[in-house]
Homo-oligomer: A and B are copies of this chain.
Amino acid sequence: MRKGRLEAFSDGVIAIIITIMVLELKVPHGEDIASLKPLVPIIISYVLSFIYIGIYWNNHHHMMQGVESINGTILWANLHLLFWLSLVPFVTAWMGENHFAQVPVALYGFVLLMNAIAYSILSNLLIKRHGKNSALALAVGSGTKGKISVAIYITAILLSLVSWWMGFLLYVVVATIWFIPDKRIEKKLDHEPYAEEKL
């Protein structure tokens, strides 16, 4: 099976997910700068989720570049990932509209955790199909970064039930882990066709 339509479909779904989040930025009734104030937590949530969805799209993009063929199980593993990504706009809005209350912050972390697990399942299936010594497997790496992320998410969910900002801070930490080292990976990418670790 060819991967073209899987990429196109995933691009479509991720493009919609990243864009419909902005629909939660409800137009305020007032016309002064003060009427934007209640939107501040919603915008902060939106920025964080935009970065997360961006990271997933980037990683999905990189990983798929190394894929040579897929099968039905991989199609479903990919749909499973898209399912959990599709819940990001909902938890983003709930967290933002409740000004980072504890339960919404914890649920936000739960959805991030499920996304990380779904991505891990997808990348494991792809590596299994292509072989442990394939270019894909080398590019995806040992998955250490992904395991650290899962550990931080679980810590964050528990801590957010104590104090919301501890959870939120840890979500920012995970995003930073995935965002910053891109610079380092880039150098490899200029030499090799792709290089990616699993989330």
A residues whose Cβ falls under 8 Å from a Cβ of B: 1-2, 5-9, 11-20, 22-25, 27-28, 31-33, 36, 47, 50, 54, 57-58, 61-62, 64-65, 71-73, 75-76, 79, 82-83, 86-87, 89-90, 93-94, 97-98, 101-104, 107, 179, 182-183, 185-186, 189-190, 193-194
Task: Please give 10 more A-B residue pairs, beta carbons under 8 A apart, in addition to A31-B101, A47-B83.
Answer: A1-B65, A1-B194, A25-B87, A32-B103, A50-B83, A50-B86, A61-B75, A71-B190, A72-B185, A76-B179
Where chain A touches its partner, the secondary structure class is: helix
What 3 A-B pairs come out closest when comparing CB atoms? A12-B15, A31-B101, A72-B182
